[in-house]
Amino acid sequence: MVILESRVASGWVDYNGHMNDAEYARVFSLAVEALMEHIGLDEPGRARHGYTLYTLETHLCYRREAHEGQPLSVELTLLDRDTKRLHVFFKLHDEEGSLLATSEQMLMGIDSDTGRPAPFPLSVEQTLNALPQAAPSAWPSQASRTIAIRR
């Protein structure tokens, strides 16, 4: 599902004339915020539940350049989840559908008062239950990669 649509802001463009590598991470961070809004953890939801999400781990892969003003869309695939964690995979596309980058992330539900991991609030859990989850055989080919020098 498409979770975010945006454009490459002029401030995101570096000395090479394309989107700076750190800005790809920004776009994926905005996608996490959009996911939070979708599941009821927008600002009022975070305050009501005393609950938020933290990013535990990210694996970002760059595929193609993006340029100033270029339309972007981020597609979300839910790979796995338990009572307090989400394993998600994002694909960043341009307006023609070309893959620009991917980001695989592990997100942890956190009780805002204690700063400790905690199960998802019931209403968030119910919304998560409605999200389509990819079967392991249907995971994107870029998911679960490791970084290594192949010999």
- Whether the CB-CB separation of 101 and 61 falls below 8 Å is answered with yes
Amino acid at residue number 138: A
Whether residue 145 has pLDDT greater than 90: no
- Residue matched to tokens 């975070």: 46
Task: Specify the pLDDT at position 87.
Answer: 96
Whether residue 60 has pLDDT greater than 90: yes
Task: Please report which confidence band the pLDDT of residue 132 belongs to, taking 50, 70 and 90 as the band edges.
Answer: confident
- Whether the CB-CB separation of 18 and 66 falls below 8 Å is answered with yes
- Whether the CB-CB separation of 89 and 138 falls below 8 Å is answered with no
Task: Specify the pLDDT at position 68.
Answer: 94
Per DSSP bridges, beta strands 99-111 and 51-62 are: antiparallel
Whether residue 11 has pLDDT greater than 90: yes
- Whether the CB-CB separation of 6 and 72 falls below 8 Å is answered with yes
Task: Specify the pLDDT at position 118.
Answer: 97
Task: Specify the pLDDT at position 89.
Answer: 96
- Whether the CB-CB separation of 66 and 5 falls below 8 Å is answered with no
Task: Specify the pLDDT at position 148.
Answer: 80
Whether residue 28 has pLDDT greater than 90: yes
Task: Specify the pLDDT at position 144.
Answer: 87
Mean pLDDT of 35-53: 97
Mean pLDDT, the chain, whole residue set: 94
